[in-house]
Amino acid sequence: MTKLPQEIIRAKRDGGTLDAADIAGFIAGLTDGSVTEGQAAAFAMAVFFRGMSLDERVALTRAMTESGTVLAWDLPGPVLDKHSTGGVGDAVSLVLAPMVAACGGYVPMISGRGLGHTGGTLDKLESILGYDATPGLDLFRKVVRETGCAIIGQTPDLAPADKRLYAIRDVTGTVESLDLITASILSKKLAAGLDGLVMDVKAGSGAFMGTRDAARALAESIVGVGSGAGMRTVALITDMDAPLASAAGNAVEMAYAVDYLTGRRREPRFHAVTLALAAEMLVIGGLAADAADARERLDRALASGKAAERFERMVAGLGGPNDFLRVSADVLPRAPAVRPVFAERSGFVAGVATREIGLAVIGLGGGRTRPQDAIDHAVGFSALARPGDAVGPDRPLGIVHARDEGTAEVAAAALRAAYRVGADAPGIADAIHERIG
């Protein structure tokens, strides 16, 4: 290492600019263990408050990418991916990957666990008995090649420095750093050997970027660094002022994804965001002439059942049941205490403190407060009311899934507090705010 870890931390704490060699040295120490967890936390906090220049951000991303294996693919179609900055009820990755695979793309999706108040795609998939979210690279390659998609977590081989820093950020209040988010996302994606990436940058009460200006800054950072690294990159800024799906949790979101893929339920807002992101992937991958053509192809993949088939093959290839879509209701874990939560007054949902719903899921046991915490896959909320919905004696705010009646009551109170109910139906914001790219 060019400098001692504490000197690098001190330099950034005092507002200095780090050179690429110092950043590379610090990340190498993070990978081999010579940089302690405390030092990594201090570095993250210094970056959070002081920020990084574009050159520092690029150096950090490259160092984290090169901390492990960088994949190379030899496939008959484009290698594409989508990543979300995280939200509540964001089950898009679960359905988007097989949809794009059914249209000729290859999607080696490296996803994360829950971070802060947001849910994690891996935690949702691990609701499936037997699903191996961290397979070896040989199995990962095999499933991608044969199925067209595989959703896994970071193996020890891929961006290991990011895996360690990601867990530390989750519990040290440094999740929202634009610089660290950019490096974390792009190091995994560059290590996956992608041809193109579509970013879903959330903005609103349930997003890490609470304002559109902040979301735009992150989107521009990711598009700039990703494109500069030779990876075609586009970003959409989407709304997170309410849960995207009407479910928030792990098994409950998995069940929601099954309903979507099989056509039992496709909520308009969730469907719109999913189609928009997947269409961008097809266009940047050269699989569709334009967005309209891409949407037609995706609709056909859903209607024909090909997307559902790809998902089921992916689940089986990674250790889950061969017939998961048929048996999902029987094999997904169920919480013992399930009951509706009603508002204190009748009216229309005027607003949702979405972050509080995510925190309520953690309170139920469906998320983590420490990296080593186990989670309860069965708990969460379903049938969540959306802005503009009428609520009252016949329509609850949602249904709580809890381990026992005591935690159910606490979560019910948190859910009521997260909703603002008014006499009149409000105007509803567009699901997709802006495209950057």
Distances (CA, A) of 384 to 172, 185, 253, 422: 30, 29, 12, 17
The tens digit of pLDDT for each residue in 294-314 reads 999 999 999 999 999 999 999
Per-residue pLDDT, 84: 92
Instruction: Concatenate the DSSP letters of all residues of 404-421 into one string.
Output: SHHHHHHHHHHHHHHEEE
Do 158 and 192 meet the contact criterion of CB atoms below 8 Å apart?
Answer: yes
**Chain centroid offset of residue 131 CA:** 18
DSSP secondary structure string, 367-398?
A: S-SSTT----TT-EEES---TT-EEBTTB-SE
Angstrom distances, CA of residue 173 to CA of 31, 135, 433:
21, 30, 27
Task: Give residue 113's pLDDT band: very low, low, confident or very high (50, 70, 90).
Answer: confident
Residue 131's pLDDT is: 96
- 88 Cβ contact partners less than 8 Å away, ≥ 6 residues apart: 117, 118, 119, 206, 240, 243, 244, 248, 354, 355, 357, 358, 361
Query: CA geometry: angle at 323 spanning 322 and 324, to 5°?
Result: 100
For range 394-407, the mean pLDDT = 97
C-alpha distances out from residue 247 to 93, 133, 293, 418, Å: 14, 22, 30, 15
- Asked if residue 321 lies in contact with residue 315, where contact means CB atoms within 8 angstroms, the answer is yes
Could you give the residue ranges of the DSSP H alpha helices within 148-240?
A: 160-170, 178-191, 212-228
Crossing angle of helices 54-65 and 20-32, rounded to 10°? 30
- Do 101 and 91 contact (CB within 8 A), yes or no? no
* CA distance to 170, 255, 412, 432, 434, per residue, from 113 (Å): 10, 18, 25, 24, 27
Task: Name the percent of the chain lying above pLDDT 70.
Answer: 98
Which DSSP helix (H) or strand (E) runs through 434?
Answer: strand 432-436
**According to the model, what pLDDT value does residue 85 have?**
87
What is the torsional sign of CA 27, 201, 311, 315? Answer: positive
Q: Span 330-339, mean pLDDT?
A: 97
The whole-number pLDDT of residue 47 equals 97
* pLDDT number for residue 86: 86
Question: Under CATH, which number does the domain 334-422 receive?
Answer: 3.90.1170.30
- Model pTM? 0.89
Give me the pLDDT at residue 115, please: 62
Domain boundaries along the sequence of the chain: 5-51, 80-329, 334-422
pLDDT tens-place string over residues 254-273: 999 999 999 999 999 999 99
Pick the CATH number of 80-329 from 3.40.50.10470, 3.10.450.50, 3.40.50.970, 3.40.1030.10: 3.40.1030.10
- Separation between Cα atoms, residue 320 and residue 313, nearest integer Å: 9
Bridging pattern class, strands 232-239 and 432-436: antiparallel
* Buried residues in 253-263 as b, exposed as e (16+ CB within 10 A): bbbbbbbbbbe
Give 70-92 pLDDT, tens digit per residue: 999 999 999 999 999 889 999 99
Beta-carbon contacts of 371 under 8 Å, excluding residues fewer than 6 positions away, are 167, 168, 170, 171
Active site residues: 81-84, 121, 169, 184, 188-189
CATH class of segment(s) 5-51: mainly alpha
DSSP one-letter code for 29: H
H/E run at residue 259: helix 251-262
More confident residue, 3 or 144: 144
Q: What is the pLDDT of residue 132?
A: 96
The pLDDT tens digits of the residues spanning 12-47 come to 999 999 999 999 999 999 999 999 999 999 999 999
Give me the mean pLDDT over the 142-151 stretch: 97
Q: How far is CA 369 from the centre of its chain?
A: 18
- Grouping H, G, I as helix, E, B as strand and the rest as coil, residue 185 is helix
